[in-house]
Structure 1
Amino acid sequence: MLEHVVKRYPGQKSPAVDDVSMTIPAGEVVVFVGPSGCGKTTTMRMINRLIEPTSGEITIAGRSALSINPDKLRRNIGYSIQQAGLFPHMTIAQNIATVPSLVGWKRKRIEARVDEMLDLVGLAPDQYRSRYPRQLSGGQQQRVGVARALAADPPILLMDEPFGAVDPITRGQLQDELMRLQSELGKTIVFVTHDFAEAVKLGDRIAVLGSQSKILQYDTPEAILANPADDTVEGFVGAGASLQQLTLLRARDVEMEHPPTVHENDAVDEIRRELGPRGDAWGVILDERNRPVRWVYRHELAHANDLHDVGEPIGETVSTQSTLRDALEALLMGSNASTAVTGQRGEYVGVVSIDTLVSAIQSIREEHEHDHDDSEQDGPDQDGPGRDGPRHERAESAESGEPQP
């Protein structure tokens, strides 16, 4: 909990952060979003005292953060930054082991934890533990940065624009990975970004910040999209509010389509039978690991002897954690009016079509119209922002006893 937190720097007339008060529920992802220079990173860094507040109170699980030794405080709060911030002279294993080593874990426990963390973020331990950061791609380095932040199992994780330095496709994959991890781990996460779409995708709640970290609106993504508090917040939402609605639903939330599938080593006659006589019928070719690799149409099979060279590459796929907006973007980049959906290990799950997306938008609109009608009848909610539980379906709740900054 932050209560009347202020940060003043010597020689500056105005405070960098002025009178910020908010409660961050345990087990939720709270995203600070705002323009560059508004103070969102400064506010977040005061939680673990990388920046000391000038005045005000920050409490974690009911205890004042200012009463805790700063080093001890930081060892119990994970921290992930842009471009990972890995130590270049250390191996990946040594980077991940940094905090567990500082808090006195035994060597065997650290080695087991390193492998566990690498596996958790989708990097094979045998392949990556002995490498150096320079030998990894930007996305892989960022995964290691998250693994390092989680290595000592902190209840709170601070993330300062961690995916801002990678390409859009890798960024979407990292966002999906974070949501998957959060569904398993249920951490309290404070995430800083200037990208409102990223905030909507990741956040259980969003704090839209103005100058000096003034809280312009603190609410669920659904509520902010439906009812921006003022013109500034509406500017963040942007003209594409309807498109942003697609960020509220995941691929797993909609009914996927299941066209015929076949493996590359299967007989051509098998998929011919599945597709039937229509020349425009289509299906999905899978590799030996059940990953989708190509779309195939009935007319392309007329003179085919095997399935290794027929069809069109599927290209970009989305995961079950991806939003419907991700699915739309992948669909627009592809050659089919559908996009393939994969599970945690890249295995084929189904497809989301343009018809699915149109139906989802219509359902969201109807739901919002119904909610708007109900709110007009019932009057405004006096209890402040909230909903039945986090969007990521965690087992933990705000009453679970986990720390609340």
Structure 2
Amino acid sequence: MTTTSDGSGPSGVRIRLDHVSKVYPGSHQPAVDDVSLDIPAGEVVVFVGPSGCGKTTTMRMINRLSEPTSGKILIGDQDALSIKPTELRRSIGYSIQQAGLFPHMTIRQNVGLVPGLLKWDRRKIADRVDELLDLVGLEPGQYADRYPRQLSGGQQQRVGVARALAADPPVLLMDEPFGAVDPITRSSLQDELLRLQAELGKTIVFVTHDFGEAVKLGDRIAVLGPRSAVLQYDTPQVILANPADDTVAGFVGSGASLRQLGLLRVEDVALREHPAVHVDDSVEVARHALAGTPFDWVVVLDSKDRPVSWVRERALAHASDLRSVAEHLDVVSTQSTLEDALEAILAESHASAVVAGPGSRYAGVVTLETLIEAVTKVRADAHSEDRSA
């Protein structure tokens, strides 16, 4: 179970779907047929399945954006059908693809919308907005008074998550929230969600059609078939190792072995120290950092110790400053999976992945050798378990 970083346990609540069905008017068969699921408090549960299988409808019935035709939905100890729909929706965070921000409102107004509807004190709303923007990595002084059109797609998604968390709901529903951004930004947003979840411990129901995303984010995965039939509901480890049937095996795909890397985080392996300098340091400082080491490149940090670029040793020979020879750097976080780290290593010509830890500060690098060692250990542990079974 995901718990908050201070050890206080989950702040989320249990959700139970008890024989829930949905039949749309005029339809001869249900869109969702007799679904029962128990979603533990404080966990990320991912609904994954093909387009049109009913996974979004199933999720939307939790906050009654889609009214169930039959069955019962319990949120904590409360029957969701006994709560007024507007009250229910204000008590549940909701994040969708392309953020769904109101274009005529500033970022501050978007994030503070639900607390305003709940009639929070104006000062309390302002403080909460600042807190959440900082939490999702957007400096309030820089972004709060901008409009959505002035932000990138990834930044808009961060605002969307902040808005969903604004009233501190115990439950967060996320409907393919990262599906409309590029792969690198998507991976970064996934890492950010995992970091937030480690701090906040919400109960999160996440819809995706990407099994790799499900493996990365989910404490549990519900693989859904037609009409949201639950084909398998278990941890990513169990589903990868033992698909329930051929349909689930098809979702897992031929890359199951590689996806084992998606079960381990960068924080689970030892990082290697690597020379680093700050962007305003002199070229001579960079040369000195590399002197006497086996390395031929240096990580460049900003004023807050966040990795922003890298510089080759040979480029320092005739450089006047670091900015003029700095190269683009893709950074992974300690929350990234080893699969993410492998992709970053293969993309970088220095054959390493630079890692950012808490506060996005530089933590070290992970190498291909480290990943090989980690995979070898996972395989050895798996064989050991098989022999002892």
Q: TM-score, normalised by structure 2?
A: 0.90
- Residues 329 and 305 of structure 1, relative CA distance in 2, 3 Å threshold: closer
Give the match for residue 92 of structure 2: 77
Match of 1:163 among 178, 195, 210: 178
Cα deviation, residue 260, structure 1: 3.1
Which of these residues, 8, 14, 35, is aligned with residue 50 of structure 2? 35
Task: Check if 1:276 corresponds to 2:276.
Answer: no
Q: Does 1:332 align with 2:349?
A: no
From the superposition, tell whether residues 309 and 193 of structure 1 become closer, same or farther in structure 2 (CA, over 3 Å).
Answer: closer
SS in 1 for 2:39: coil
Tell me the secondary structure at the aligned position of residue 190 of structure 1. strand
Structure 1 position 350 matched with structure 2 position 364: yes
In 2: Cα distance, 1:305 partner to 1:95 partner: 45
Structure 1 unmatched ranges of 5 or more: 378-405
Q: 1:56 to 1:269 in 2, by over 3 A?
A: closer
Structure-2 separation of matches of 1:114 and 1:310: 37
1:189 matched to which residue of 2?
204
Post-superposition offset of 1:259:
2.6
Deviation at residue 156 of structure 1 after TM alignment: 0.3
Would the aligned equivalents of 2:35 and 2:229 in 1 still touch at CA under 8 Å?
yes
* C-alpha distance in 1 between matches for 2:323 and 2:70: 67
TM-score by length of 1: 0.87
> How far did 1:262 drift?
3.7
**Mapped contact 1:275–1:282 kept (Cα < 8 A):** no
The CA distance in 2 between the partners of 1:311 and 1:149, in whole Å, is 41
Q: Which moved more, 1:153-162 or 1:287-296?
A: 287-296
- The question of whether the paired residues in 1 share the 8 Å contact of 2:20 and 2:34 is answered with yes
- 1:58–1:64 Cα contact (<8 Å) kept: yes
Query: Sequence identity, in percent?
Result: 63
- Distance in structure 1 (CA, Å) of the matches to 2:302 and 2:233: 47
CA 225–311 in structure 1, closer or farther in 2 if over 3 Å, else same: farther
In 2, the alpha carbon distance for the partners of 1:110 and 1:233 equals 45
**Shift of residue 76 of structure 1?**
0.7
| Contact 1:295–1:311, Cα closer than 8 Å, also in 2 | yes
Distance, in Å, in 2 between the alignment partners of 1:273 and 1:112 is 42
- Give the drift of 1:275: 3.9
Structure showing greater relative contact order (alpha-carbon pairs closer than 8 Å, 6 or more residues apart): 1
What letter is aligned with 1:14? Q
Structure 2 SS opposite 1:349: strand
Asked if the contact 2:276/2:301 (under 8 Å) is kept, the reply is no
**Alpha-carbon distance in 1 for matches of 2:125, 2:245:** 49
Query: What amino acid does structure 1 have at the position aligned with 2:299?
Result: I
d(CA) in 2 for partners of 1:270, 1:147:
38
Of 144-153 and 359-368, deviating more is 359-368
Q: Matched residues in 2 for 1:263 and 1:79: separation? A: 39
Cα deviation, 1:321-354, whole Å, max 9, x if unaligned, reads: 1111111111111111111111244322111111
Q: Which amino acid aligns with 1:296?
A: R
Q: Which residue of 2 aligns with 1:392?
A: none
Does 2:107 align with 1:95? no
Q: Which runs of 5+ in 2 are unaligned?
A: 1-15
* Cα distance in 2, alignment partners of residues 88 and 130 from structure 1: 12
Amino acid at match of 1:29: V
Aligned residue identity for 1:260: P
Cα 1:18–1:305 change in 2 (3 A) is: closer
2:286–2:298 CA contact under 8 A, matched in 1: no
Does the 8 Å contact 2:282/2:322 carry over to 1?
Answer: no
Q: Which amino acid aligns with 2:245?
A: D
Give how far 1:202 is off: 0.5
Mapped partners of 1:55, 1:136: distance in 2: 42
Query: What SS does the aligned partner of 1:47 have?
Result: coil
1:221 aligns with 2:236: yes
User: What SS does the aligned partner of 2:262 have?
Assistant: helix
Determine the structure 2 residue equivalent to 1:296: 312
CA distance in 1, matches of 2:205, 2:367: 34
Instruction: Confirm or deny: 8 A CA contact 2:311 2:322 kept in the other structure.
Output: no
CA RMSD across the alignment: 2.0
Shift in alpha-carbon separation, 1:314–1:183, aligned structure 2, 3 A:
same
Cα distance change, pair 27–308 in 1 and its aligned pair in 2 (3 A): same
Distance 1:277 1:347 in 2: 23
